[in-house]
Structure 1
Amino acid sequence: MRQEKTNKRLGVIDIGSNSIRMMVFDHGGKAQPFCNVKKFLRTTRLGHGVDASGNLAASSIARSIDALVEFKQIADDEGVAEIYAFGTSAMRDAGNAKDLTEPVRRKTGLAIDIVDGDTEARYGFYGVSSCFPGNILIVDIGGGSTELISGSRAAGIVWDKSLNIGAVRDTEKFIREDPPHQSSLQNLEAHVQGQAVVLFQSHALPSDTKLVGIGGTNTTLSAIHQHMTTYDETKIHMSTLSIKDVAQIQNQLAACDLDARKKIEGLPPRRADIIVAGCTILSAVMRSAGAEQMTVCGRDNMEGAAILHYGL
């Protein structure tokens, strides 16, 4: 772990299967680790086709390189002293990840750290746990994987599991119709429950466990529930979704074709083609965990990566 840096502008880049995100912030010491936070997002669909082919697609690589070059320029303009970039599910599953890492290093100087599922889970936990005093179960539905992390601020991580289930991966695998057939959604939900039920049977959750959702799928579902015309992170952070809310949103989304989904308040058009799968995954996880409600947290693996990498 690095020595604590104070009064420096730092950056973190999360290279996910659906999008690439960057957080820029000032670190003012232990009392104020994240000041003047700015976040940026570009949808690149890096995970498209990885589950079927085992490789990153050339078009996805090109979009991701462009996004990272842009982010490096933004970071330079913002006066960022150091950037930590990490890749997750799509990059760790792909046999040709170097086709992205090598040109990015040449063009930007960024060295991408491809993290395993356990490390990704730790990043998510440390980003979230400061917001909750008791036992939590974090669900982070990404494009290519879903991270489940159980623990508490006092005990740390009790267990974590990275499942090869994600909004991009399982849209490609299960949903081939527009609007999706009910049978496709049932098959996807059964696929998720088949893994999640076994997991929760072998890892009993304390009775006071609070389900906490992080990541783009969960924040988007909260925005849809709140009928947001303009995204407001202050209203997303610590908002709640009941299992009935999730079911209602799932029914609304599944009844629409892609063009109609793009017009739903709170749903970014770039996410409209994968949100049905993401919502179905969340529904299956909530049912498998016996959770009636989820709290959405605005902090996630970017904050956790900053805490662990920079020693904040």
Structure 2
Amino acid sequence: MYAPSQILARLALFASLLFGRVINMKTGIIDVGSNSVRLALMADGKTIYKTLATTRLGEGLSHTGKMSGAAIERTAQAIARFKVRAEDDGADRLYVFATAAVRSSSNKAEFLAAVKNVCGIEVDVISGEEEAKIGLLGALKGRDGGIIDVGGASTEVTVQLGGKLLYSKSVNIGTVRLYDLAQRDKTKLEKVIAERLADYGEFDASEFLMYTIGGTASRLASIKHGLREYRPEITDGTKITLQELSEYADRLLTMPVEQIRATTICTNSADIVGGGCLLMCSVMKHFGISEITVSESDNLEGYYMLKEGAK
């Protein structure tokens, strides 16, 4: 039995086929990350809205090599709720993709089966290279430049010039992994980060316009603007210097978690935002980057462009 909104969406599809054009078709995209599950509702290439649920799917992954049963259940239920919301809001198509926590876990099959059982959805588990590609596509939309995507379990750095990739690397280090390994201890965090930075090899990105995408980027831009709620129309395009990020990292790693939660946007990420900021700083230094621009168009838009562009 279809909901009224789904019936209307299918009528729109029929009309588009009949008259040879698409009439405001809506598509839901769900990104299953290591820290949160995000939903974007898209139509005609534009983002109508984004929302998220923090589920910490990657919690404990660095120690056990697998996702916990509780984290799998939280995340599967979040996906199910977002599926219902997208359909209620008129989505005729729904895509779901998962990133580092799922692809690097020894019990990936258990997670995929749990999601299928709860809401009937097949999840596309993308590689690190694919994750970098859709992030680049969403943020740059074909322009030259690069991205840094600090996620919960991995961090991607990608640069392109003249439509061709010059550099792309995904390394298994992110905000949730860092917290698992070093909590909020700056000395331990720096040691863990330094060990993983070597995996990026050598590449000079100092001459490129570099963007940053994802939850860490949005949180840091929100902190710069003093925002207590997500306002992408304000944070999009925000420029943050390496010096500013270094100061934020020092402040966030010395503030009590409850104070961060009470005074910033980071109500569900107060424990990991300091480590994420330090990681961003370290990656920028490694690649010779002195300033980064926040893009609120990211891998959700990139995945949409990849799927819908292929139609």
Q: TM-score range by the shorter chain?
A: 0.7 to 0.9
Structure 2 counterpart of 1:298, one-letter code: E
Bigger mean CA deviation after superposition, 181-190 or 275-284: 181-190
1:97 and 2:78 are equivalent in the alignment: no
Shift of 1:190: 2.2
The whole-number CA distance in structure 2 between the counterparts of 1:195 and 1:171 is 20
Structure 1 counterpart of 2:284, one-letter code: M
Q: Is the 8 A contact 1:89 1:144 kept in 2?
A: yes
Normalising by structure 2, report the TM-score: 0.88
Q: Is the 8 A contact 2:178 2:189 kept in 1?
A: no
| Alpha-carbon displacement from aligned partner over 1:92-117 (angstroms, at most 9, x marks no partner) | 01121222222322332211011111
Q: Aligned with 2:268: secondary structure?
A: helix
**Runs of 4+, deviation exceeding 4 Å:** none
Q: Give unpaired runs (5+ residues) of structure 1.
A: 28-32
Give the alignment's Cα RMSD to 1 decimal. Answer: 1.8
Q: Aligned with 1:194: secondary structure?
A: helix
Structure 1 counterpart of 2:257, one-letter code: L
| Alpha-carbon displacement from aligned partner over 1:55-97 (angstroms, at most 9, x marks no partner) | 1101101101110110111011011111110110010011212
2:179 aligned partner: 171
Shift of 1:204: 4.0
The whole-number CA distance in structure 2 between the counterparts of 1:126 and 1:170 is 27
Q: Is the 8 A contact 1:192 1:285 kept in 2?
A: no
Q: State which of 82, 85, 92 in structure 2 corresponds to 1:71.
A: 82
Structure 2 counterpart of 1:188, one-letter code: V
Q: Is the 8 A contact 2:57 2:71 kept in 1?
A: yes
Between the two structures, name the one with larger relative contact order (CA 8 Å, sep ≥ 6). Answer: 1
Structure 2 counterpart of 1:34, one-letter code: K
Superposition map of 1:281-292 within 5 A: 281-292=279-290
1:147 aligned partner: 156
1:195 aligned partner: 199
Structure 1 counterpart of 2:159, one-letter code: S
Q: Is the 8 A contact 1:47 1:143 kept in 2?
A: yes
Shift of 1:52: 1.5
Change (3 A) 1:11 1:227: same
| Alpha-carbon displacement from aligned partner over 1:5-41 (angstroms, at most 9, x marks no partner) | 66311111100000000111112xxxxx215x11120
Superposition map of 1:220-239 within 5 A: 220-239=219-238
Superposition map of 1:19-98 within 5 A: 19-27=36-44, 33-34=45-46, 37-98=48-109
Q: Aligned with 1:253: secondary structure?
A: helix
Structure 2 counterpart of 1:246, one-letter code: L
Q: Is the 8 A contact 2:204 2:288 kept in 1?
A: no
The whole-number CA distance in structure 1 between the counterparts of 2:295 and 2:29 is 18
| Alpha-carbon displacement from aligned partner over 1:270-302 (angstroms, at most 9, x marks no partner) | 010111110111010111111111000111101
Superposition map of 1:111-150 within 5 A: 111-130=122-141, 133=143, 135-150=144-159
Q: Give unpaired runs (5+ residues) of structure 2.
A: 1-20
Shift of 1:48: 0.7
Question: Percent sequence identity over matched residues?
Answer: 28
2:301 aligned partner: 303
Shift of 1:192: 4.2
| Alpha-carbon displacement from aligned partner over 1:233-266 (angstroms, at most 9, x marks no partner) | 011111010111101111110111221221232x
Bigger mean CA deviation after superposition, 181-190 or 301-310: 181-190
The whole-number CA distance in structure 2 between the counterparts of 1:186 and 1:95 is 27
Q: How many residues align?
A: 290
2:277 aligned partner: 279
The whole-number CA distance in structure 2 between the counterparts of 1:183 and 1:126 is 35
